[in-house]
Structure formats: structure tokens, C-alpha cells
């Protein structure tokens, strides 16, 4: 090959490399101007954790309310002079109270 042909080949290679570089810079610039949102899977996981925490609080509060109600009923029955075991309602209330006590771990 002649020196002129080698020079033209080198210029052609530099020209191709320069065009490729400009295309990559333009692609990077477009990505900077329009950034991609954060991974939606990560956002969904955070939302799921928040929902689980809210549900845990609701369940905990519900258990406290139920326990307080049955403790009150149990104490009012007990304060009334003992249990009238002949009454079916009283038997059911005592059974419910014992069941809740067994769930609460008391």
C-alpha cells in the first residue's frame, strides 16, 4: 500500500471512531436528560413492608381492645358474687375469656 492510501485509511478509521464517540456521547446525554425511574420492584417491596407494618399495628391494637373488653366483662362477672354457671351466656363468656387468655399467652 502506498503512503497516501494508508493516510486515507487512518483518516477513515479516525472518522468512524469519532462518529461512534459522538453517538455514544449523545446517547449518554439523552439518558442524563431523561433519567430512568428507580426500579419498580424495589418500590413495591417498600410499599409491601409499609402495608405489613400497618397491618401489624392494627392487629396489635385489635388484640388490646378485645383483651380489655373481655377483662372488663370477666371482672364484672367476678365482682357480681361469683359465677352463675347455670347461665349459658356466662359459660360462653368465660370460655371466650379463657380462649383469649390462651392466645395472649397469659
Q: What is the pLDDT of residues 48-69, one digit of tens each?
A: 999 999 999 999 988 888 878 7
31-to-17, 25, 35 alpha-carbon distances in Å: 21, 10, 5
Query: In the predicted model, what is the mean pLDDT of residues 30-40?
Result: 69
- What is the average pLDDT score of the chain? 79
Rounded to whole angstroms, how far apart are CA atoms 97 and 2? 103
Question: Is-contact 71 41, C-beta < 8 A?
Answer: no
Helices (H), 34-87: 40-79
**What is the predicted pLDDT for the residue at 86?**
64
Q: What is the DSSP letter of 105?
A: T
Categorize the per-residue pLDDT at 45 as very low, low, confident or very high, splitting at 50, 70 and 90.
confident
Phi-psi region of 37 (alpha: psi -120 to 50; beta: other; left: phi over 0): beta
Model confidence, pTM: 0.40
Amino acid at each position: 500500500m502506498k503512503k497516501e492510501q494508508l493516510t486515507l485509511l487512518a483518516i477513515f478509521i479516525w472518522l468512524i471512531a469519532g462518529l461512534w464517540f459522538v453517538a455514544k456521547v449523545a446517547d449518554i446525554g439523552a439518558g442524563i436528560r431523561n433519567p430512568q425511574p428507580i426500579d419498580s420492584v424495589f418500590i413495591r417491596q417498600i410499599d409491601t413492608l409499609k402495608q405489613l407494618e400497618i397491618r401489624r399495628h392494627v392487629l396489635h391494637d385489635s388484640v388490646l381492645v378485645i383483651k380489655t373488653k373481655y377483662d372488663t366483662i370477666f371482672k364484672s362477672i367476678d365482682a357480681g358474687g361469683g359465677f352463675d354457671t347455670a347461665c349459658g351466656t356466662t359459660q360462653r363468656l368465660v370460655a371466650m375469656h379463657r380462649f383469649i387468655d390462651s392466645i395472649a399467652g397469659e
